[in-house]
C-alpha cells in the first residue's frame, strides 16, 4: 500500500501529458492558417499563399498616421482579430535566435513573402489592430536546434494555446500555471504536449487571474521559427 501511495503522489506532481485536444473554431482556424502558410512558404507555393489571404484586408493609415481602416482577417469563415502578446516576459531565452530569414506566419508576413518572391525581408511592426473584440494574441520567435525557451504571461478563464513551427520543425509545449485565491491558497496546473510534431496545443481553465509559464522546445535538429498563439 505504501508503494502504491508513493506512486500516486509522484503522479500528482509530474506534468500531465495531453494530446489531440480540440481547439475552439477560431483558434483552430488560425492554427490551420499558420500550418498551411508555413508549409506553402517552404516550397514557395505562391498560389497557395495567395489563397490564404484572399479574405485578408490590411489596415490603412491616414495622412496623420492614424488608423483609417482596421485590419480584417477572415479564414475558414472565422473572423480572427489578433495582436502581439501584450504582457509576455522572457524567463529563459538563452537559446533563442533572431527570426531573421525564417517565416513569420501572420497574414502580413504571408503577403510580404509573396511580394518579395519568397525572400524574407525585415518586417516593420504591422500590428495595427485596435478593435475591442481581439480574440488571439501571438508572438513569433526562433530557436536553435534541440533547445528550449521559457516565457510567461498572465491569464484567466478558459485558455487555449498552440505553437506552430515552420515546415519540417518539431515542437513541444508545456505550461505551468499558478493562481491564488483570496485566502492565499495556491492552485497549480501542469500540462504538456510532447508529441514533437509541427504543432502542439493545450487547453485548461484558470478560475482566477494568474501567472502562466510556458516552455517551447525545438525537438528537431535544425533552427526553426515558430508562432505561439493564445486565446484572449
Q: Phi/psi of residue 101, each to 5°? A: -90, 15
* 63 belongs to a structural domain: no
Instruction: Give how many domains the chain has, as a whole number.
Output: 1
Is 3 inside a domain boundary? no
Query: Could you tell me if residue 137 is inside a domain?
Result: yes
The answer to whether 92 and 149 are in contact (CB under 8 A) is: yes
Q: Cβ distance 54 to 48 under 8 Å?
A: no
Look at the alpha carbons of 189, 24, 143, 98 in this order and tell me if their dihedral is positive or negative.
Answer: negative
pLDDT at 7: 40
Q: Residue 2 domain-assigned?
A: no
Cα distances (Å, whole numbers) of residue 104 to 43, 85, 94, 195: 15, 15, 21, 23
pLDDT for res 2: 45
Cell of 50: 495567395
Domain that holds residue 146: 26-57+69-231
Q: What is the pLDDT of residue 83?
A: 86
Cell numbers for 202 = 493545450
193 assigned to some structural domain: yes
φ/ψ (deg, to 5) at 12:
-70, -20
* Residue 190, SS3 per DSSP: strand
Instruction: Provide the pLDDT confidence category of residue 120 given band limits of 50, 70 and 90.
Output: low
Q: Assess contact for 109 and 156: CB atoms under 8 A.
A: no
What number of helices (H) and strands (E) belong to the chain? Answer: 4, 14
- pLDDT tens-digit profile of 34-71? 999 999 999 989 999 999 999 998 877 777 767 667 78
Q: How far apart are CA 72 and CA 229, in angstroms?
A: 18
Q: For position 126, which CATH number holds?
A: 2.60.120.380
Q: What is the pLDDT of residue 20?
A: 52
13 falls within a domain:
no
Burial of 161 (0-12, 13-18, 19+ CB in 10 A): buried
Judge whether 20 lies within some domain: no
The reported pTM is 0.85
Residue range 20-39, pLDDT digits in tens: 568 999 999 999 999 999 99
Cell of 171: 515542437
Amino acid at each position: 500500500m505504501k508503494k502504491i501511495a508513493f506512486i500516486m503522489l509522484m503522479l500528482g506532481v509530474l506534468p500531465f501529458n495531453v494530446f489531440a485536444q480540440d481547439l475552439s473554431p477560431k483558434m483552430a482556424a488560425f492554427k490551420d492558417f499558420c500550418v498551411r502558410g508555413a508549409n506553402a512558404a517552404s516550397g514557395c507555393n505562391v498560389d497557395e499563399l495567395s489563397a490564404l489571404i484572399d479574405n485578408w484586408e490590411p489596415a490603412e493609415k491616414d495622412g496623420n498616421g492614424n488608423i483609417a481602416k482596421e485590419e480584417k482577417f477572415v479564414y475558414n469563415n472565422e473572423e480572427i482579430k489578433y495582436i502581439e502578446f501584450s504582457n509576455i516576459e522572457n524567463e529563459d531565452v538563452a537559446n533563442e535566435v533572431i527570426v531573421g530569414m525564417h517565416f513569420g506566419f501572420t497574414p502580413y508576413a504571408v503577403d510580404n513573402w509573396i511580394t518579395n518572391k519568397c525572400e524574407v525581408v525585415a518586417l516593420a511592426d504591422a500590428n495595427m489592430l485596435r478593435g475591442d473584440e481581439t480574440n488571439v494574441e501571438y508572438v513569433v520567435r526562433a530557436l536553435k536546434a534541440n533547445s528550449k525557451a521559457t516565457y510567461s504571461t498572465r491569464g484567466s478563464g478558459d485558455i487555449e494555446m498552440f505553437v506552430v513551427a515552420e515546415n519540417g520543425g518539431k515542437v513541444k509545449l508545456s505550461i505551468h500555471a499558478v493562481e491564488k485565491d483570496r485566502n492565499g491558497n495556491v492552485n497549480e496546473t501542469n500540462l504538456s504536449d510532447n508529441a514533437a510534431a509541427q504543432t502542439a496545443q493545450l487547453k485548461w481553465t484558470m478560475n482566477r487571474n494568474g501567472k502562466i509559464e510556458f516552455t517551447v522546445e525545438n525537438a528537431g535538429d535544425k533552427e526553426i521559427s515558430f508562432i505561439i498563439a493564445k486565446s484572449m
